[in-house]
Structure 1
Amino acid sequence: MITRPRTFLEVWSGRTAPERFDAYTRWSLYLLSGFAPFLALAVVGSDPSFVPSLVLPWLALVLAQTVVCILTLRAGIVHFLGGPNVRAVLLVPLCVLSVAVATLGMWTFPVTSADGIPDSSRYYAVLMGLGFGTLAVTPLLTFRRLVLVALLVAAVTGCSAWVGTGVTSTTVGFAVGMGVSGAVMLVAVLGSYRASVWMLGVVWEQERTRVLHARLAVAEERLRFSRDLHDVFGRTLSVVAVKSELAAELAARGRPGAEEQMLEVRRIAQDALREVRAVVAGYRSADLGAELAGARSVLRSAGIETTVHGDETPVGQEAQEALAWAVREAVTNVVRHSTASTCTITVHRDGATSVVEVVNDGVPTTPRSGAGSGLLGLAERLEGAGGRLETWADAGRFGLVASVPDDGAARGAPGRAPARELPAPTTERTTRA
């Protein structure tokens, strides 16, 4: 079977929000580091006094340093997010190439007097070699160490003004000026690099927390279900075992009463069957108030701003279950199949009909092929209750409207208490600063 290649937009739309942020952050840093060769060409073009025999070797070193910088930066980000340590096979060439670019840059753009310092590109050549090399190791250093490294690089860059010119009052002034300007620029750039990597770690930490919260919720529900089954079956099965043993003993001895005991076992088993059906029915049934509260918690945990209107609207008991399933399915679709940032849930009356509307602003740019089985099943469920399901999409917004005839509410059924909002999960962040 031959399938057409997926476009970039389709691949991008299929990624989760953390994956998009990860790709955007990584490639932004890679592109900024990859800009070094173009900056080197600009430096050469701005200073015609360069040594022709040294320009090509210097540009080759800049290109090699750029490749190693990007590889080291990539390995550093992986290490910051919990991956393996950066190997020395990257760090050693990075240090050698950075020093080589800075050193050869000083000789490529010679300065013989203090008057030639302002027009020379030596300052930028030295700053490029040491600065881009430091950028590559930002994920491996803390903010404090980055500031210290930035000050050291700025000091070395400023002192480069003395090479070939000597230490005079004029060159000292140039050195101090270039050192201070370099320090300010390096602290800003290195800080932005480190902040970007730190935010990337925070995003993935929050994603792991969200997944863990969902797994804990499932585990808690399983534990509650098993506890209910134990409470229902524990005593019943113990009684069945005792009475069955008693009936077997009476039958073995030929004494009367075995038949009565077995009839009692049958009655207990029938009662247990009714209790199990009641437990399962309780798990299968849906309550509109509980679903609205759960929708708030789930959507906000997924980073979607959620607003619920009309949660005090009186809804009859029969219509509640159908509308609760509509809320559950709509919220599931918003979390799984959309890129929504806001979602609005509205419960209201339309004559003798109770209506739930769920609207979000995250319609995928590439629509999915085919109809989802969840919406088809929901439509069938609503039709069974005499209601109907409608969906619409317009200007990046998607809406689901579920309506069910509700005679119970029309006769003055008591309104539901406002759904209690579930607290959002709180966890301690362990991402390194």
Structure 2
Amino acid sequence: MLVRGWRRSWQRRSKLERIDLYSRLTISVIPWLFTLSWQLTPFKSDIRHAPLPIALGVALLLVSLTQCLLSNRNVESSYAHYLDVAVFPGKRQLPPLFLLLVNLGLLAALVGIDGVGDPGLLIMMLNAPIAFAITQSLLVPVRTFLIQSFAFTALSVVVLAVAGVRGGMLAGVVPTSLFGSLLVLISVRPSAWSLKVMWQAEDARDLQARLAVAEERLRFARDLHDVMGRNLAVIALKSELAVELAQRGRPEAVDQMVEVQRIARTSQQEVRDVVRGYREADLSTELAGARGVLSAAGIECEVTGESGDRLPGPVQSALGWVVREAATNVLRHGDPRRCTIRLNTSAGAAVLRVENDGVKSDGAENGAGGGAGVGAGPVPGGSGLAGLRERLRVLDGSLEAGPAGSGLFRLTATIPLEPAAPLGAVVPAARGEEPATEKAPALQEEAR
């Protein structure tokens, strides 16, 4: 049952979590492996078989095993400190440091009573700093760790020299002590660094996924605003007209409500297209739809210039959204009597201008620019102009909107044709949106 539970726990972990667990377990095993091999080996032949040397050797072994326990206790906290997850409490390193000094003192005592041979001394000296260094290597920078290692080596040389170690044996203590510390550094530190990089990459992927979701939400909100804005404005307009006609007993009220029903059904299909991510505005359809709905609202609408049929698909789609948003705002704001839509193309850029009158001198919201009046900016909280600028920015285009004098309001959309919009390119309507794969049905027919 224990094995099954452990297996289920292992299988529930992600690949990165398994690597993390494996790294921590490996680091926890290292001090035990070295202690049980290097600290026990001298008992066979290097420690003199007498009561006092054996007692000191056993005490040294117990101190080393305690160092292993403390090292394992600090592995989690030191890893968390290195990964910038938590701060390691500095006081937890004081007991391991004290035991390291005790270990060095016991080695000096064994040397002082001539209780250990030279090979045994070097082996135990090699093991002495490992348990403490495992945690320390994760808590301080590499440069600081190396300085501390040299300091411990120098202290070891001084202590063992006082205990009676001389000549080549004393010189051999230097590389032996440094080797133990460097062994820990090159095995533990790179492992922790690799783990940190992998966790950072995992966090970056999570962040990228969250940003993709946020961008998709913005895309959906913008498309829904652009799709439903004009249709709802037309429905409201025709509903008001139908009410007035019904109140007068005119049979044309039925025709207006039939038209409202048709537009509502078209809106349903367009919303489905937005949800599927297939929504793409058609410039010719939008120009015809804008002329129809504005004319139905009693606004004289003139579409001049080129048809735009030869423009690349992404450019047509972007300009189609501009026409739709501009027509929506002409219906919503001010009291315009005339609106002109002009499309000019050249080798360098496609320029669409939408101009309407009816701008109020007191700065009230009106005009094709999403509710900008004389000296006023976009409507607070509005998303029309912001959405259009996002669409045009994908194609390196720009959008300008503002009063043009003489009570006029002008919206100008410019999209460079080379090299931002190569012929046949498929450019999504917004960042993070899948490329459109089919045309939406006709948006609007000419209103009666």
TM bracket (short chain): 0.5 to 0.7
Letter in 2 for 1:19: E
Q: Deviations over 1:233-257 (max 9, x none)?
A: 1211122223323444555677775
Provide the rounded CA distance (Å) in 2 between the counterparts of 1:52 and 1:181.
23
- C-alpha contact 1:51 1:108 (8 A) present in aligned 2: yes
- C-alpha contact 1:106 1:125 (8 A) present in aligned 2: no
Provide the rounded CA distance (Å) in 1 between the counterparts of 2:2 and 2:238.
68
Could you list the runs of 4 or more consecutive aligned residues of structure 1 that deviate by over 6 angstroms after TM superposition?
A: 253-256
Go from structure 1 to structure 2 and tell me whether the alpha carbon gap of 1:122 and 1:128 turns closer, same or farther (over 3 Å shift): same
Go from structure 1 to structure 2 and tell me whether the alpha carbon gap of 1:130 and 1:181 turns closer, same or farther (over 3 Å shift): closer
> 1:226, CA displacement in angstroms?
2.8
Residue 266 (str. 1) matches residue 261 (str. 2): yes
Residue 145 (str. 1) matches residue 144 (str. 2): yes
- C-alpha contact 1:61 1:97 (8 A) present in aligned 2: yes
SS in 2 for 1:34: helix
Provide the rounded CA distance (Å) in 2 between the counterparts of 1:13 and 1:61.
37
Go from structure 1 to structure 2 and tell me whether the alpha carbon gap of 1:4 and 1:109 turns closer, same or farther (over 3 Å shift): closer
Residue 63 (str. 1) matches residue 41 (str. 2): no
Go from structure 1 to structure 2 and tell me whether the alpha carbon gap of 1:4 and 1:135 turns closer, same or farther (over 3 Å shift): closer
Letter in 2 for 1:103: G
Go from structure 1 to structure 2 and tell me whether the alpha carbon gap of 1:4 and 1:81 turns closer, same or farther (over 3 Å shift): closer
1:397 matched to which residue of 2? none
Q: Deviations over 1:241-279 (max 9, x none)?
A: 233234445556777754443333222112212323344
> 1:125, CA displacement in angstroms?
3.6
2:18 matched to which residue of 1? 20
Which runs of structure 2 are paired with 1:18-417 in the superposition (5 Å)?
18-38=16-36, 39-49=38-48, 51-110=53-112, 119=118, 121-165=120-164, 171-249=166-244, 251=246, 258-280=253-275
- C-alpha contact 2:118 2:169 (8 A) present in aligned 1: no
Q: Deviations over 1:174-205 (max 9, x none)?
A: 33332134324422332221111111111111
SS in 2 for 1:82: coil
SS in 1 for 2:40: helix
Provide the rounded CA distance (Å) in 1 between the counterparts of 2:164 and 2:273.
93
Letter in 2 for 1:228: D
Provide the rounded CA distance (Å) in 2 between the counterparts of 1:120 and 1:110.
16
SS in 1 for 2:13: coil
Letter in 1 for 2:231: T
Provide the rounded CA distance (Å) in 1 between the counterparts of 2:273 and 2:56.
87
> 1:20, CA displacement in angstroms?
1.7
Go from structure 1 to structure 2 and tell me whether the alpha carbon gap of 1:187 and 1:142 turns closer, same or farther (over 3 Å shift): same
Go from structure 1 to structure 2 and tell me whether the alpha carbon gap of 1:190 and 1:282 turns closer, same or farther (over 3 Å shift): closer
Go from structure 1 to structure 2 and tell me whether the alpha carbon gap of 1:149 and 1:163 turns closer, same or farther (over 3 Å shift): same
Provide the rounded CA distance (Å) in 2 between the counterparts of 1:63 and 1:184.
20
Provide the rounded CA distance (Å) in 2 between the counterparts of 1:99 and 1:252.
102
> 1:211, CA displacement in angstroms?
2.2
Provide the rounded CA distance (Å) in 1 between the counterparts of 2:116 and 2:157.
11
- C-alpha contact 1:243 1:265 (8 A) present in aligned 2: yes
Mean alpha-carbon deviation: is it higher for 39-48 or for 186-195? Answer: 39-48
SS in 1 for 2:25: helix
Name the larger-Rg structure: 2
TM-score (norm 1): 0.56
Identity of aligned residues (%): 33
Provide the rounded CA distance (Å) in 2 between the counterparts of 1:203 and 1:5.
29
SS in 1 for 2:129: helix
Letter in 2 for 1:31: V
- C-alpha contact 1:161 1:174 (8 A) present in aligned 2: no
Q: Deviations over 1:199-243 (max 9, x none)?
A: 111111111222222232233333323322222112111222233
- C-alpha contact 1:76 1:86 (8 A) present in aligned 2: yes
SS in 2 for 1:137: helix
Letter in 2 for 1:144: R
- C-alpha contact 1:69 1:133 (8 A) present in aligned 2: yes
Provide the rounded CA distance (Å) in 2 between the counterparts of 1:125 and 1:244.
94
Provide the rounded CA distance (Å) in 2 between the counterparts of 1:69 and 1:105.
20
Provide the rounded CA distance (Å) in 1 between the counterparts of 2:53 and 2:118.
15
Structure 1 gap ranges (5+): 285-416, 426-433
- C-alpha contact 1:110 1:122 (8 A) present in aligned 2: no
Letter in 1 for 2:142: F
Provide the rounded CA distance (Å) in 2 between the counterparts of 1:275 and 1:165.
92
SS in 1 for 2:238: helix
**Number of equivalent positions:** 280
- C-alpha contact 2:125 2:173 (8 A) present in aligned 1: no
> 1:137, CA displacement in angstroms?
1.7
Letter in 2 for 1:164: A
Go from structure 1 to structure 2 and tell me whether the alpha carbon gap of 1:99 and 1:256 turns closer, same or farther (over 3 Å shift): same
